[in-house]
Amino acid sequence: MNQYGMALISGIGAALAIGLLSLADSMTTAGLWLMAPFGATAVLVFGVPDSPLAQPKNVIAGHLLTAFIGVFFVAFIGVTPLTMAIASGLAVSAMLLTKTTHPPAGANPLLIMLTGQSWSFLVTPVLIGALVMVLIGQMVKHRGWVLSR
């Protein structure tokens, strides 16, 4: 398949994943399903699916780990310019040490600390959203492979 076909499939996959999360977000009051870092996740997962930064382990664990750090700071340390800087630095170090680097996840501590999120944020939108992105990404990647044969 040529670059135009792959770009189209990647764009459709990204639109499907973000659209599904956005639709779920608009249909429930039980919690969030969508967060801004998923826009950048979509670029990696659908645009450069073979990148080490776009692998399922990196997407899921990177988002969970950094979100945990953000919620931990909200719950136990507090939110100040200094703690936001420390949480961001810890998030980068934690992803590097665990080999789960996913650059969009670096935004999670700031997002969570600025909006005062609680532990439930780890499940939705973080875990469920990351799983949706990965599952649709794997389907699109597989479909692209089939179409290129």
Q: Residue 45's domain spans which residues?
A: 3-148
pLDDT range class, residue 142, cuts 50, 70, 90: confident
- Asked if the model's pLDDT at residue 137 lies above 80, the reply is yes
Task: Tell me how many domains the chain contains.
Answer: 1
CA 139 and chain centroid, separation: 17
Structure token digits, residue 142? 């597989």
- Asked if the model's pLDDT at residue 147 lies above 60, the reply is no
Return the axis-axis angle of helices 3-27 and 128-148, rounded to nearest 10°.
Answer: 150
Query: What does the pLDDT read at residue 144?
Result: 59
Which helix H or strand E contains 63, and what residues bound it? Answer: helix 56-72
How large is the average pLDDT for residues 119-127?
A: 96
Render pLDDT for 1-22 as a digit per residue (tens, 0 to 9). 789 988 999 999 999 999 999 9
The Cα 148–Cα 50 span in angstroms is: 15
pLDDT range class, residue 146, cuts 50, 70, 90: very low
Render pLDDT for 47-92 as a digit per residue (tens, 0 to 9). 999 999 999 999 999 999 999 999 999 999 999 999 999 999 999 9
Q: How far apart are the first and last CA of the chain?
A: 8
HEC secondary structure over 92-148: HHHHHHHCCCCHHHHHHHHHHHHHCCCHHHHHHHHHHHHHHHHHHHHHHHHHHHHHH
How large is the average pLDDT for residues 25-54?
A: 92
Residue 35 near residue 125, CB atoms below 8 Å: yes
